Structures are given as C-alpha cells and as structure tokens.
Chain A
Amino acid sequence: MKSICFYFQVHQPFRLKTYRFFEIGNDHSYFDEYANRFMIRQLAEKCYLPANEILLQLIRKHKDDFRISFSISGMALEQFELYAPEVLDSFKSLAKTGNVEFLAETYAHGLSSLKSKKEFSRQVKMHEKKIQSLFGVKPGAFRNTELIYNDDIGNQVFKLGYNTVLTEGPKHILGWKSPNLLYCSAVNPKVKLLMKNFQLSDDIAFRFSVKEWSEWPLTAEKYAGWLKAVDPKTEVVNLFLDYETFGQNQSKKSGIFEFLMNLPQKVLNNTEYTFQTPSQLSKYLQPASPLSIPYPISWADEERDITTWLGNEMQNEAFNKLYDLEPLVAKCSDADILNDWNRLQTSDHFYYMSTKWFSEGVVKTRINPYNSPYDAFINYMNVLVDFEIRVKKICEKPKNKSAAKLAGKSQTASDTTTQTKPKTTQKKATSKTKKS
C-alpha cells in the first residue's frame, strides 16, 4: 500500500500600486485594485474554476481513493471574496465531498515564522479561523509560506496544535535518504514531516510543457509508470505544486488539464498507489527516522533556502523595518491598520526585491510587476513609511494623563496660530509632544 500526497498551493498577494514619495502622509490606500482584480479574474477563468471542476469530478469518480489537500492563503481568500466569489463557492463544493483537506498556514502568506513567534502564532490562528468559517473544517496539518521550515518552526507549530508539517525534501538535508518516507523532527519527534519529492513534483510544475525536455510530451501513462518504478520501499510520494501550475504556468494548450484528468485513473489501475491527505498519512505511517534541520529550508531555487526573500540588504532592511512596528500594531484594534499590516507582510513583496534574478538560469515562477528590485524596494518603503506614520498616530497612546494634556495643549496652540504660519507651528507642536 503506497500513497500519493497531492497538495496544491493557492496564493495571490495584494500587489502594491505605484506609490510615490510625494504621497507619503497623504495617501493611505496602497494596493493596485485594478491589477489585483484583473489577476484574480484571469486566474479564476484560466486555472481555479476549471481545475476545481476536474478535481470535483475525480473525487466523485474515484471516491475515497482520491483525496487531495489545499493550502489557501488568507490573502487569496480575501481576494476571492472581493473579486471572484464563485471560486470560493467551488472550493466549498470540494470541501463538502469530505475528501479535501485544507492546510494551515500564515494568513498573510508571510515570513513571520522567521521573525516573531507572537505574530506567527497570531497569523496561524487567524488563518485557522478563516478556514473554519469558510469550509467548516479545522486544518489538520501545517505548511509554512514557501514550505519554509526548521526545527524551531516545527516546535512552534506543535505548540499551535499541529503535529504534521509539509516541507521541501532538499538533498542537503536528506542526503542518501528518500523523500518518499515519513520523517519526524529530531528536536520534537512528535512533529511528523512530509518531504516534497521535488523531482516528480517539478516534472509537472516546471517541465511539463518544455519541448526541449527529453521526456516531452509527458502523459499520465508515462508518469504513472515513473511512480511505479520508484524505490520499492516508498511509502508516500509527496507532490507539492503551486495550483497555478494548472492553466497558468502550464497553459491549457499544453494538455495539463487532460493530464490531471487522466492521472488518477492510470495510477489507480496500474499501480498500488492511492491518493491520501497529509493528516491521514501522518496518522498511519511510522516515521522512518528523525531529521535535524537547524537552518530554514524552503522550496525555492537551487539553494532551497530563504535567500530569495531575505537574501540582500534591501530585503533585510524592509523586513526589519516592517517588524519594528509589530509591538505597536499588536496593541492596535483599528481594522484598516490590521488589514494593511497583514497585506504588507506577504512574502511576495520581498520576493520582488530579490537580486537573484540578475543571474541567469533562475526559474521565475511568479509574475513580477517591477522593472528592478530597486524599484520594488523604493515602492515598498514609501508605502511602509506612510503605514508607519499611521501606526504611530493611531496606535501610540499617550503614556500618562499629563502627556495627553500636553499634547492637547500644543494642539490648541497650533490651531490658533495656524492661519499665520502653519508650517512651523505644526512642527513645534510635534516636537513638544515627542519630548513629553
């Protein structure tokens, strides 16, 4: 008895609009509504709706032999609510079959796991609540943004109630070990790890329509043959894919939908595999061995590390400046602030600032709206500075009564003199408040 674990990632960021320095302090809407709506609408037509329909048919056909899992970020869910409610409905139909597992992740699809335990836990809980309210089920397993994982994150996730984590199966971690087994954390053996089989996953995600590839064209039959031929000790083949693989990254013309439609039949008929979900697998498989992963790994690039998001000075600076605001935001209950706080944490903003794209041979899997990482950084910082000003204004409460009084006083003082010299008096008022 062997299993295939299909997990599809569904995520779209709230893209920022072009935000100029001159707007700082004045314009508080940061997102490119047109571009975001366009992107979601386009993906709904090309990918989400047709792919969901196929999966629904497959579940009806193969019943319990075909189970799949999704991780849908809070950012994607919010945008479906705004721009494509029918996509949400089709996911709900999938949820109703009972054969679909929804995974936990950070609501913002952010990188908080690398910075703040507090924010990370808030993010996971927030996402959990959202999934529960939309699909009526509690997530059974966890996957972090971009499959980022290390021992420490495993521990944190366990404390949040998850004992199954999906991550990458990189060579520098596994060495001679097979990704096709269940592992556990060396630090906390109760944390079970499902490792992505990147070879077989990327055959679909990246190589499917590459005509120069020696295996092109890839058929369901051929692929089932490969699955059959893997190491006999295999217990589970983890196929972790961006959901946009279907119809967007691999176009409809490439035959990707036919491939998806036919694969389960070929696999179930010709091999001993069935399709299972992460939480089920972690329940009935025994961990083959503990894995120690001290430094964060991810599913990105050749390095499988976090340098795609936090690999240069600009990314680190933007990241640090963002989380400098966390203590203030944590005290804040303003809905707009909290909304923007989530949206600014999304990992894509940091991805756009990557300078890795300067070197050749890097697979670009995301659409990048910026001409250069410098443009991305400048734009993000302009927005972040405006956000910082708002946060300080709204969330920073005067420490004691006398400070509040003083602030009030200087406010009235500036009011009376506004007519004559608004610029200087305002500044004086601010400096007074700061000092107090």
Chain B
Amino acid sequence: MKVLMFGWEFPPHISGGLGTACYGLTKALLKCGVELIFVVPKAYGDEKPGTIRLVNASDVAVNVQDEIFKEYIDNISFVEVDSTLVPYADDEQYYHIMESIEKGVTFEKGVVSSQKFSFSGGYGKNLMEEVRRYAMLALEIARQHDFDLIHAHDWLTYMAGKEAKRISGKPLIVHMHATEFDRSGENINTLVFDIEKAGMEAADVVIAVSNMTRNTVIQRHGIDPDKVITVHNGVEPSEKEMETEIPRYLDEKIVTFLGRITYQKGPEYFIEAAYKVLQRDQNVRFVMAGSGDMLPKMIRRVAKLGIANKFHFTGFLKGDDVDKMFGLSDVYVMPSVSEPFGISPLEAMRSNVPVIISKQSGVAEVLQHAIKVDFWDIDAMADAIYALTHYEGLPAIFKKHGKEEVDNIKWDQAGIKVKEIYKKVLS
C-alpha cells in the first residue's frame, strides 16, 4: 500500500503542532507497513528580502541523530515542492514569526540538514497564490509517481490533494487538524472556509482529530457524516529523561497556563478564575507563560484586578524553560475556547502535573484523569483550581493515574486506525 501524502512541514523543520502530528502519524503508519511519499513545500526563495528562514526553532524539535528517526528517514521518500508557503503555525511560534517579520528581523538557528523551510512574508495575499502553485505542482508529482491513495493534511494542501486525485483517479483522504473556526472564531476567512469545504467534499474520507472537530465539519461545513471519521491524535513518549528535581523557591502552589495568548486559548478565563481563587486564598500563585496578541490586554486586566503580586507573566518560553515551568507547576489549566485536539495537557501530565481542561477541546474526549470544565465557566474552573491546590488527596490521584493514561495515548493506535481507513477506501 503506497500513499501520496501532502503536508507542509516535517521534522526537524517544524514550527507547530501539525508537523509533530504528521511525524507521529507517519511513523506509526510505517510501522504498519504502509509506504509513503511525503510532499513538503520547499523554498527556493530564501534569498528574497523580507523572507524568514526558520530552521527548527520549535520546542518540539526532533533529534535527527535518533536511531528510530534515521531508520524512518531511510524508509520514506520525500518530494519537495518549490514553493514559499505560509503554514499557519499551531503554537507560539507563529506569533514570533509574525512579530519577527514585522520587525524585519531574520533569525536562523542550527541548520540540521540540507532541508530548509521558508515562510513568505505574511498570511496575506500571496498565500492563496502559493496554495494554487502548490496544487499545480501536486499535479506534476502525481503524474510522476505511483501510488494507491492520497492523504492531505489541513486546508493548505487540500487543493493539491484534489488536483492529484483529478489526474490520478485515486481516492483522496483529507485530514482535519484544525478548522477555520478554531483559528478565527466566528470571523472566518471565507476563502479558507471554501477551500476546506471543497477539499472535504472532494474527499472519499475525512479524518477529524476529535469528535468536536468532526461535529464542526458536519455542522458548519455541511459534510456528509458518513464519511467523517474521528481518529484521535497520540503523543510521543518523552524523549529525554529529565527527572532531575527542579528546585522550588516559592512556598505557594503554582497554577500554570502555557500557550499562545490568543483568543482561541481563552487566557482571560484563566485570569478571572485566578481572581476568584485569590479572593479565597492568597497562598496560590498563577503563571501565564507564553506570548500572543492578547498579552498586553491580559497584563492590564491583571493589574486592574490588583493581583499582580500573585499572578505572573513569563513571556515566551523556550524548550528547557517549558520543562522547568511544568516542573514548577502544581496544576495546569488549558481553558481553550476551541481546541481541535490540544497536546499541551498531555505534556503536563507526562510531567506529573494534574490538569484542568476545557470541554471545548478534542483532548477532553480521550482523557479520563483530568478535570473538565466549560471554558466560560470560571466558577467551575476556580473551584477545580482550589480543590487541586487544597485537597491533598486529589492531586495524588491525578498524578497516579494521569501519567499512565498519557503513556497509553499512542500514535500507534492512530496509525492502525488510519490504515484501516485506507483499506476500507481501497476495497
């Protein structure tokens, strides 16, 4: 079974959650004996002024020296497309890239291999052009290669997938990692929405990363429920053994929010809940780690509420500091307004931190040992925070079962499920 897969980033050149997800999934598929041709857009336009060359700046970096990874690279054929394509980045990185672009800064970090990934200068008018160019090249690639089916990840590659299907007549599977509604709330970009809809309509099967996402595409995009199948993401096992105890200098319990500080992540609900808890008990500290367009507003809100000596901001955290932050945390809160999946609570649980997650997240569907609240329900959120920081037994239970639970959410299961879908489509 040979699959032509369209993505836009791949380790080690990943900028966000999607690259990680593609890595996890393809690795699992290889284990199941699926052959893959992975198409990634490769840039020739590095030298153009105003473009950013970003190499492996993400904290979810993958070590290329890794044995498994080497073997993996050997077994996969890569096709690179000449295109400067802007992926929407699914994490902190996006904000930083955009910020850097605005400032006209070029930054570069340890070039690990010859593969380079380039971003053009914005989310703006060139993007659609690039998507179309990618689709055109996909046509050519489909003509040159031999494969049984096509698998496209997220809207930027859907047109490419469609073209490949048109020329080859092979079945198309599109994978929904995030919908336009997750990224933009109600103020969606209708062009993107149209591409998403057309891609899913042209597809033989739509894979959604959660039931929540499945419902979105059925209700909002009007996709036939019979062809939308949920396959939950997995999580990579911890790469490093970092069981060295991080020294704690603060007596109080620490409750952490870690992520992009944007509308989608619901930072304001975290602040309001913090305020409620602090009114009851001053022996708790709150940390908002990360940056994003809503950071200034959040700082002002905290100042206005008069809790700035108990509510701390760290700014954007890099790799080691993220681990450190988890290590210092007693509770992790993910109050996302809309989160197709949401991998960060799993990372927290892997570090033995109990988590509170919003019901509006895909990950809530797979986790048992987490407290789930509606993102807007700050009373319930405050209550959960108070409980986890005051009733000794509770965090103990979460720690005991949480790690075990996370260790069982594996990509292998997702890989098996996807392979079954392949089989069904081909039969």
Contact = CB atoms under 8 A, between A and B. Distances in A.
Does B bind A? Answer: yes
A318 interface: yes
A427 B251 CA distance: 6
A131 to B, nearest CB: 34
A386 B321 CA distance: 20
Contacts of A399: none
Given A21-B314, A382-B312, A385-B312, A317 B303 contact: yes
Contacts of A318: 303, 308
Contacts of B253: 427
Contacts of B248: 25, 423
A313 B304 contact: yes
Interface string B213-228: 0000000000000000
For chain B, what secondary structure do more than half of its interface residues adopt (helix, strand, loop), or is it mixed? mixed
Contacts of A26: 247, 249
A374 B296 contact: yes
Interface in B278-320: 283, 287, 295-296, 299-300, 302-304, 306, 308-309, 312-315
B314 A320 contact: no
A25 B249 CA distance: 5
A117 interface: no
Contact of B309 (A25, A375, A388, A427): A388
B341 to A, nearest CB: 28
Interface residues of A, number: 33
Interface residues of B, number: 26
A391 to B, nearest CB: 12
Contact of B308 (A312, A321, A389): A321
A131 B92 CA distance: 52
B191 interface: no
A314 B287 contact: no
B309 to A, nearest CB: 5
B295 A374 contact: yes
B249 A381 contact: no
A25 B250 CA distance: 6
Contacts of A314: 299-300, 303, 308
A427 B248 CA distance: 11
Contacts of A430: 251, 283
Contacts, number: 70
A316 to B, nearest CB: 7
B324 interface: yes
A289 interface: no
A381 B309 CA distance: 6
B309 A22 contact: no
Interface string A310-329: 00111011101100000000
B306 A317 contact: yes
A377 interface: yes
B303 A21 contact: no
Contacts of B306: 317, 320-321
A331 interface: no
A388 to B, nearest CB: 6
B105 to A, nearest CB: 13
Nearest to A388: B309
Nearest to A320: B306
A381 B250 contact: no
B251 A377 contact: no
Contacts of B308: 314, 317-318, 321, 377, 381
A22 B321 contact: yes
A431 interface: yes
Contact of B287 (A21, A313, A374, A381): A21
Contacts of B287: 21
A22 B251 contact: no
B321 A317 contact: no
Contacts of A21: 287, 312-314
Interface in A289-322: 312-314, 316-318, 320-321
Interface in A387-407: 388-389
B315 A313 contact: no
A431 B283 contact: yes
Given A21-B287, A385-B309, A377 B303 contact: yes
Contacts of B249: 23-26
A113 B229 CA distance: 68
A29 B253 CA distance: 24
A150 B405 CA distance: 65
A378 B296 CA distance: 11
B314 A20 contact: yes
A374 B297 CA distance: 10
Interface in A334-386: 372, 374-375, 377-378, 381-382, 384-385
A375 B306 CA distance: 18
A321 B305 CA distance: 12
A410 interface: no
Nearest to B390: A431
A426 interface: yes
Contacts of B300: 312-314
7 contacts: A22-B321, A374-B296, A377-B308, A378-B299, A378-B312, A378-B313, A427-B251
Given A314-B308, A374-B295, 15 more contacts: A22-B321, A23-B249, A313-B303, A314-B300, A317-B306, A320-B306, A374-B296, A377-B299, A377-B303, A378-B299, A378-B312, A378-B313, A384-B309, A427-B251, A430-B283
Nearest 6 pairs between A and B by C-beta? A25-B249, A317-B303, A313-B303, A26-B249, A314-B303, A313-B304
